[in-house]
Amino acid sequence: MQPVAAGRDLAAAGGRSGRDGFAVGMKGSGERFSVRLSFSHFEARFLAGLAMMERGMGECAKMAPAMRLAKGADAAALADLYRQLTGDERVKVLPARLDSLADGVRAQVLVCECDGELAGTAWLGFCEDAMYGEQPFAVLENVVVHASWRGRGLGTALLREAERRCLARGCSKIMLLSAAGREDAHRLFLRAGFRGDAKLGFVKYRRDMLARDSSST
Q: Are 66 and 121 in contact (CB under 8 A)?
A: no
pLDDT of residue 3: 46
Residues across the chain: 217
d(CA 160, CA 146) in angstroms, rounded, equals 18
Kindly indicate the confidence band of residue 212, based on its pLDDT and cuts at 50, 70 and 90: confident
- Helix then strand then coil, in percent of the chain rounded to 5, is 40, 25, 35
Q: What is the pLDDT of residues 2-40, one digit of tens each?
A: 444 444 443 444 444 454 454 444 444 444 444 444 545
pLDDT at 41: 52
* pLDDT for the residue numbered 5: 43
Q: What is the pTM of this model?
A: 0.70
The answer to whether residue 203 scores a pLDDT higher than 50 is yes
pLDDT in tens, 66-125: 999 999 999 999 999 999 999 999 999 999 999 999 999 999 999 999 999 999 999 999
Element (H, E) at 118: strand 117-127
Which structural domains are found in the chain, ordered by start? Answer: 2-57 (no CATH), 63-216 (3.40.630.30)
Q: 44: part of which helix (H) or strand (E)?
A: helix 39-57
Those residues whose C-beta lies under 8 Å from the C-beta of residue 166, and which sit 6 or more positions away, are 124, 138, 174
